[in-house]
Chain A
Amino acid sequence: MVPDLQAATANLIPRLRICYARGGLLPHRGTPPFLCGPAVLLALLLSILFAFPAAAQAPPDEEVKPIPLLTGSTGFIATFDSGEPHLHPIVTPLVLVPIGGRWIFETRATFETDMVQLPGRSGFHGTVAKEVEYVQLDFIANPYMTVTVGRFLTPFGIFNERLYPVWIRNLQSDPLILPIGIGPSNASTGVMLRGGFRADPKFNINYAVYFSVLSTASPVNSDRFAGGRLGIFVPAARLEIGGSFQHGLQDELSNAFGFHALWQPPILPLDIRSEYARSIVGSGYWVEAAYRLSQVPFLQNELRRTQVVGRMQQFFVGENGSDALLPMSTRQFEFGLNYYLIDGLKASSSYGRQFSTGGNKNVWTMSLTYRFVVPLGHAGSE
């Protein structure tokens, strides 16, 4: 049974014509007021997008039945910031619950603490911070679109959404510009449409558009804004470039925009990532290169597990300050060494030097991170 949208919309379109001919958004005598305006067109567009391709689409993973998973990462990160030691244990569980053939519920929380030495007391002390990073329900409407509702990571740039977990990131420190465009707690509350599809035999397009409402309930607060991100991925060159835009719908009604790029040259075990972001609170960029030493002809068993990382970044203070950003313009470079022990277990160390008008400082980090995957049910094939 396929919905007959043509018949369903045949009655609506003449009504809309009359409506718009008689004053645009003003209602016509025979047309209910709520059937006029951009909302009608939006609703119509959404209905068509959802319904048409779905009729020709089989469930995505029909051969293997998915099961709920408890996955995520854990890590222990030691930082020496201007000589002051910080111990930072972190656990980030992620629960994935697939529902039927097209739905998935996902939520991620973080339990972490920043332990420091307090004057007059021995040992390290800190309080455990607990945060639900996102709770979202995804509906894979068709091969081109997934609908997400709930609290989700704001898709501005690439770091917050794709590179943030400690087992993924190449350097444990956050980029200086990370808080730009991602909201007060790195997440948004609302609805998002997103997807990726092959637009041409040579490249794919991925996109995300979202609307977030104002929430002041800490720690799940969010701002009221709307935005989107568009990316183009060229598989042959292993290159992705894209841009993000966000329009604030509260306070100053300010805009933010950014660009990102990822490149993995096909002939080298090299990852190059970069982001630029600009908003009223500041602007800046980071460029990161990570080279896996798998092509070195000696000590291959050890060196193929070793990765050398370098990152350069710069931040410029904007018109309005932000508590989440540094108070002064800053330049920073970092070098790191990662060693992949077994699948999911990684040891890292890095050194960074920060230059700002408030003074220069060194930042050292050492960490051990692990990604875990625990099936919540019988994991054999069905």
Chain B
Amino acid sequence: MKWRYSLLCMVGVTAGLTFSAIAQEGANSTGSSSAAAPAPTQGIPVARAATPPSAMAKSAADGAENRALRLEGEKRFRTNCGRCHQAPHKFLPRVMATAIRHMRVRAMITDEDMRLILRYMTQ
């Protein structure tokens, strides 16, 4: 009977992974334009102004938002990465993208923290 339970568990996991992959493909195909934008982050104090009429005002608002996200990213970086080791210097963006994925698994940092830290370390 044990092999049946194992088989069923494997089937369940496989089904889940398949559903997940299908859902991911669906999200990519329908939302490719929105995927290029920075990922939304919840609970982050960001100065969000109403849509300004002029491009200059919009640029200023984007700058303020970027600064807020950067500060929050730095804070999350110190809080999360510094728990185990000394904070490393910044790496090249593609190197950092791999390292942060590794640390997401190893240190179990949250999805939101990962995005903010990656943003801080690559911009």
Contact = CB atoms under 8 A, between A and B. Distances in A.
Contacts of A162: 84, 106-107
Given A5-B19, A63-B38, A104-B102, A208 B108 contact: yes
Per DSSP, chain B at the interface is: helix
Given A43-B9, A195-B108, A67 B95 contact: yes
A264 B83 contact: yes
Interface residues of B, number: 63
**Max count, chain A CB within 10 A of own CB: residue among B19, B96, B106:** B19
Contact of A54 (B7, B19, B98, B114): B19
Contacts of B5: 34, 37-39
Contacts of B104: 60, 140, 146, 196
A344 B108 contact: no
Contacts of B115: 60-61
Nearest to B11: A43
A111 interface: no
B9 A373 contact: no
A361 interface: no
A168 B84 CA distance: 7
A199 B99 CA distance: 25
A382 B94 contact: yes
Contacts of B28: 59
B117 to A, nearest CB: 11
Contact of B8 (A40, A48, A56, A138): A40
Q: Return the 10 tightest CB-CB contacts between A and B, nearest first.
A: A43-B12, A50-B16, A196-B108, A143-B111, A51-B19, A66-B97, A206-B108, A39-B5, A66-B98, A54-B20
A140 B108 CA distance: 11
A340 interface: yes
Contact of A58 (B31, B96, B101, B105): B31
B85 interface: yes
Interface in B80-122: 82-86, 88-89, 91-102, 104-115, 118, 122
Contacts of A373: 91, 95, 99
A142 interface: yes
B96 to A, nearest CB: 7
A264 B38 CA distance: 31
Contacts of A125: none
**Max count, chain A CB within 10 A of own CB: residue among B4, B16, B28:** B16
A64 B97 contact: yes
Interface string B1-38: 00011111101110111011011111110010001101
A214 interface: no
B59 interface: no
B26 A1 contact: yes
Interface in B48-63: none
Contacts of B79: 235, 238
A377 B9 CA distance: 38
A47 B10 CA distance: 11
B31 A379 contact: no
Contact of A381 (B13, B15, B110, B122): B122
A58 B86 contact: no
A69 to B, nearest CB: 5
9 contacts: A34-B7, A64-B94, A71-B99, A143-B110, A235-B76, A238-B79, A373-B95, A381-B93, A382-B94
A141 B88 contact: no
B39 interface: yes
A46 B105 contact: no
